[in-house]
Amino acid sequence: MQTNINNVINVSMLPEGLLAARDNMNVCAVLTSQQDGGINTASRYALYRGIDAVAADFGTASNMYAHASAFFGTQPNPVNAGGVFVAGYWRGAAETVAAASAILTGAQLSEATVVSQLQAISNGSLDIDVDGTTVSIAAMDLRTVTSLADVATLLDSEVSGITGAAVTVSASNEIVVTSATTGVLSLMTVASDPATGTFIGTILGLSAGSGAVTVQGAASVVLAVETKVAAITALKAAVNIKGAVFIDNPTDIESKDLATWAQANSVLMYDVFSAASALTVDPTSVVWDIKLSSLTNYRMLFSHAGNRLFATAYMARAHTVNFNAENSALTMHLKALPVAAESYSQTEIANAKMVGLDIYTTIKNTPIVLTSGANDFQDNRYNIIAFIDAVQTDMYNLLKLTSTKIPQTQRGVNQLIDQGVKTTRGFVRAGVFAAGSWSSPDYFGDRATFERNILTNGFYWIAGKLADQPQADRQARKSPTLQAAVKNAGAIHSADIIVNFNL
CATH 2.60.40 fits 103-215, yes or no: yes
In whole angstroms, what is the distance from residue 156 CA to residue 217 CA?
Answer: 20
pLDDT, residue 36, reads 75
What string of H, E and C letters represents the secondary structure of 132-196?
A: CEEEEEEEECCCCCCCHHHHHHHHHHHHHHHHCCEEEECCCCCEEEECCCCCCCCCECCEECCCC
pLDDT at 159 over 80: yes
Q: Peptide bond preceding 76: is omega within 30 degrees of 0, i.e. cis?
A: yes
In whole angstroms, what is the distance from residue 459 CA to residue 100 CA?
Answer: 58
Contact at 8 Å (CB) between 80 and 319?
Answer: no
- Counting residues of the chain whose pLDDT is more than 90, the rounded percentage is 94
Using pLDDT thresholds of 50, 70 and 90, give the confidence band for residue 18. Answer: confident
Map out the domains of the chain as residue ranges.
Answer: 27-94+225-326, 103-215, 403-503
CA angle 33, 35, 41 (to 5 degrees): 80
Mean pLDDT on 103-125: 95
- How would you class 303 by CB atoms within 10 Å of its CB: exposed for 0-12, middle for 13-18, buried for 19 or more? buried
Contact at 8 Å (CB) between 74 and 318?
Answer: no
Instruction: Please count the other Cβ atoms lying within 10 Å of the Cβ belonging to residue 56.
Output: 12
Pairing of strands 175-178, 103-105: antiparallel
pLDDT at 357 over 80: yes
What string of H, E and C letters represents the secondary structure of 200-259?
A: CCCCCCCECCCCCEEECCECCEEECCCCHHHHHHHHHHHCCCCEEEECCCCCHHHHHHHH
Higher pLDDT, 344 or 195: 344
Using pLDDT thresholds of 50, 70 and 90, give the confidence band for residue 2. Answer: confident
Instruction: Please count the other Cβ atoms lying within 10 Å of the Cβ belonging to residue 75.
Output: 12
In whole angstroms, what is the distance from residue 213 CA to residue 65 CA?
Answer: 38
pLDDT in tens, 200-236: 999 999 999 999 999 999 999 999 999 999 999 999 9
Backbone angles phi, psi at 455, to 5 degrees: -65, -35
pLDDT in tens, 122-144: 999 999 999 999 999 988 999 99
pLDDT at 14 over 80: no
Q: Helices 63-73 and 51-58 meet at what angle, rounded to 10?
A: 180
- pTM here is 0.90
pLDDT in tens, 379-434: 999 999 999 999 999 999 999 999 899 999 999 999 999 999 999 999 999 999 99
